[in-house]
Amino acid sequence: MTSLRSRITTAALTMTLGTGALAAPVLEPATQKFIDSLAGSKPIYTLSPQAARGVLLSAQSGPVALAPVSAEDRVLPVGPNRQDAHSRDPSGTRRPHPSGDSLLPRCRMGDGR
């Protein structure tokens, strides 16, 4: 029985190694560049809380490319009250109004609906 178990284990290991299942992972270039930049750094869990916050702040401090948006703030008269409506859409995107009469931007009510 031991010899059969040993042969099965050897066969499984050979198949795993032969298929490259244990090969090093391949990362996209930007991710690999980030991982490479960490070489020689102290693990964040070994830093003081203040130093760790500084590392995270500097990691997140770079410029961020934002897509252009169209924005519109309106006040809608609803019953005896007024309702703020905020519309934020990627530039040039519009959806049909449920009535089918016109195209309106996506709208979000001031209370988050």
Closest CA to 106 of 65, 75, 69, 77: 69
Asked whether the CA dihedral 13, 17, 19, 20 is positive or negative, the reply is positive
- Residue keyed to tokens 């996506």: 106
| Pairwise CA distance, residues 55 & 58, whole Å | 5
The overall average pLDDT reported for the chain is 76
Asked whether the CA dihedral 6, 7, 13, 14 is positive or negative, the reply is positive
Q: What is the pTM of this model?
A: 0.36
Is residue 101's pLDDT more than 60?
no
Conformational region of residue 112, where left means phi above 0, alpha means psi within -120 to 50, and beta covers everything else = left
Most confident range, picked from 14-18, 40-44, 80-84, 93-97:
40-44
pLDDT tens digit sequence for 14-27: 666 555 556 678 89
For the beta carbon of residue 88, count every other beta carbon within 10 angstroms.
13
